Structure 1
Amino acid sequence: MRSSSPSPAPPVDLAKARRVAVEAAEAAGDLLRAGMARPLEIRPKGTAGDVVTELDLAAEALILRRLRAVYPGHRVIAEESGVNEGTGTAAGADAGLVWLVDPLDGTNNVAIGMPVYAVGLALCAGPVPVLGVVHDPVTRRTWSAVRGEGARGPDGAPLRLAAAARAGRADNPVLAWTQGHEVGRGDPVVLPLRTAVEARCGRLLQLWAPLVAWVMLARGDIDGIVGYRPELVDLPAGALLAKEAGAEFRALDGGPYEPSIDLPPAERGFVAARPALLERLLETTAQACRPAAAGTGSTGGTEGTGGSAGAGGSGGAAQGGRVRLTR
């Protein structure tokens, strides 16, 4: 289902922006794939067990160079370097346009030799994603979406989520889980929520690469994703892809949900699924969140800065609370 809310009219050619983003993501993918053949320098990042490699930094630098060459005035929020302000005379006119870049979603997988990772770029007009691109360097395939115009698969054909679950999965859905890397073991929501979700599905994937999970949902490989205080950087690209392919979204408590980079971590929790499954999942998540919310005042649990665990990716310089969209 394409976005039902009115589409923003950003002062940018989205067809051109899609081409630029796809080319940047695929070039970064080539760099990452070639780098996997060499021993990696793996360094700790932050205090929650996250890591970074030289490939993260090199791929991010490549993407930033390509974006800056075409859109010098656009703001860029990147996983490793954080906020990069626009430059030159175009910066004022483009103040509401923000790119989010995850050059290597799945660094923790790469660090242990598991080839499950992706490259993601999103362009937002204000807080709302209007373009999303996800590239899988392993298979060399790319998926993209423009708000209100649907999603496209690697061959450029429309990508639509089938209304019915695959055979045998109507009562045993396959789901993915993502959570912020800084969500602590003592968080009052995460364990009961994840346990409840896992008890109601046939399989719960924890990929440590949420962009891969978003592609799987858009393709119909899995039936839904549950996110608790998820990452900022990789959320818009993947969520827009799945939404434009036909997935529906709600907040964990069943309320309305619109992916936005202006949401603080405590308000980013979501359920995304094929429409026929959504209400059943919401019964589970709302019930699991309710006891904890009564004790904490929200379904967000304890404060964390973002980063991904479970089906999440890595938390870096770009992670944290609400993004300030004004300079």
Structure 2
Amino acid sequence: MDLEHARRVAVEAALAAGSVLRESAPGAVAVHDKGGSGDVVTDLDLACEKLILDRIRAEFPSHRIVAEESGVHRGDRPDGGWTWLVDPLDGTNNVAIGLPAYVVGLALCADGRPVLGVVHEPLSGRTWSAVSGAGARGPAGPLTGPPRRDLRHGPVLAWTQGHGVSRLDPAARALKMTMDARARRVLQLWAPLLCWAMLARGDIDGMIGYRAEGLDLPAGALIAQEAGVEILGLDGGPFEASAEGPPEDRSFVAGPPALVGDLLDLVAEARRLAPALPPL
């Protein structure tokens, strides 16, 4: 498998979808309910997903594809466990209310593990990508790691949680309350792939996820890791950014190695605030 060729295909597909979003998202967008959790889908999600699927199928007909809106598409010749993850519009709720914060995301996984990730921001035209073991790239070239920042007033952190997490979930509430107390600012952008890109390029200092969605996790996490970000489970153990497995396996802290210990201390404080909680 030529991963550099796959990266080029994924980048070109993301750029094409981004062009559609950039031209259409500022106008009136048809919004439809999606499931029972308050999530939504737009006609743009569907149009961009079809565009991306067509391009992947043309280049890699044997590969399996898991797409945000249309689900699983099996290849014509199942080939060695290769699976594409496609989020054609990460930040649909933002588009629905006119908030310009959304991206296109693709990942390629080998036997469940991400080996390629692409995140494209249509409004700025910027793209971030990574191949496992080969580093991350941004608009200006290789990403060399998050810069050292003055954290005297606390870090800027992003929060993400899965769609299935209840607003009354005690663990989520304890974590968010502790983040609000410790951080200079907490971002909840409804677009986790955008947060991963911001972390990889050093615009924010860290990120905490609780039972995160699986489809948009691998691409962003791989780009951040290849840019020098460390990702650990909430217990401080190893974390695997896989789309598979139960949601409780997708809770994490992420940040520069020098900050990860502070993020784990934050998690420990949340446990002390709510000692009756099950393991976070």
Specify the alignment match of 1:161 in structure 2: 145
| 1:285 maps to 2:270 | no
Partner Cα separation in structure 1 for residue 234 and residue 59 of structure 2: 38
Q: Deviations over 1:143-202 (max 9, x none)?
A: 1001111000113x110223522xx33551101000011211231211011111221110
Partner Cα separation in structure 2 for residue 39 and residue 59 of structure 1: 16
Alpha-carbon offset, residue 262 of structure 1:
2.4
Q: Deviations over 1:255-304 (max 9, x none)?
A: 221212223101100000011111011011134246768554x42xxxxx
Specify the alignment match of 1:68 in structure 2: 57
Partner Cα separation in structure 1 for residue 7 and residue 254 of structure 2: 24
The one of 183, 205, 222 equivalent to 2:204 is 222
Partner Cα separation in structure 2 for residue 126 and residue 223 of structure 1: 31
Partner Cα separation in structure 1 for residue 105 and residue 272 of structure 2: 33
Specify the alignment match of 1:27 in structure 2: 16
The one of 149, 166, 170 equivalent to 2:134 is 149
Q: Secondary structure at the match of 2:107?
A: strand
Specify the alignment match of 1:250 in structure 2: 232
Q: Deviations over 1:37-78 (max 9, x none)?
A: 431111110111111100000000000000000001101111
Partner Cα separation in structure 2 for residue 279 and residue 205 of structure 1: 20
Partner Cα separation in structure 1 for residue 82 and residue 153 of structure 2: 42
Q: Deviations over 1:180-236 (max 9, x none)?
A: 112112312110111112211100011111111111101110000000011111100
| 1:261 maps to 2:243 | yes
The one of 117, 123, 128 equivalent to 1:138 is 123
The one of 31, 44, 57 equivalent to 2:33 is 44
Please tell me whether the aligned partners of residues 15 and 120 of structure 2 are also in contact (alpha carbons under 8 angstroms).
yes
Alpha-carbon offset, residue 254 of structure 1:
1.5
Specify the alignment match of 1:101 in structure 2: 86
Percent of aligned positions that are identical: 59
Q: What amino acid is aligned across from residue 135 of structure 1 in structure 2? A: H
| 1:85 maps to 2:74 | yes
Partner Cα separation in structure 2 for residue 111 and residue 14 of structure 1: 35
Q: What amino acid is aligned across from residue 227 of structure 1 in structure 2? A: G
Q: Secondary structure at the match of 2:170?
A: coil
Q: What amino acid is aligned across from residue 230 of structure 1 in structure 2? A: A
Q: Deviations over 1:103-150 (max 9, x none)?
A: 000000000001100000000001110000000000011110011110
TM-score, with structure 2 as normaliser: 0.96
Sort the Cα spacing of 1:291 and 1:263 in 2 relative to 1 into closer, same or farther, 3 A.
farther
Sort the Cα spacing of 1:290 and 1:180 in 2 relative to 1 into closer, same or farther, 3 A.
farther
Q: What amino acid is aligned across from residue 139 of structure 1 in structure 2? A: S
Specify the alignment match of 1:126 in structure 2: 111
Please tell me whether the aligned partners of residues 229 and 269 of structure 1 are also in contact (alpha carbons under 8 angstroms).
yes
Q: Deviations over 1:6-48 (max 9, x none)?
A: xxxxxx1000000000000000000111112431111110111
TM-score, with structure 1 as normaliser: 0.82
Please tell me whether the aligned partners of residues 147 and 202 of structure 2 are also in contact (alpha carbons under 8 angstroms).
no
Partner Cα separation in structure 1 for residue 58 and residue 275 of structure 2: 46
Specify the alignment match of 1:204 in structure 2: 186
Q: What amino acid is aligned across from residue 132 of structure 1 in structure 2? A: G
Question: What is the alpha-carbon root mean square deviation over aligned residues?
Answer: 1.5
Structure 1: runs of 5 or more not aligned: 1-11, 300-327
Partner Cα separation in structure 2 for residue 205 and residue 262 of structure 1: 26
Q: Which has the higher contact order (CA 8 A, sep 6+)?
A: 1
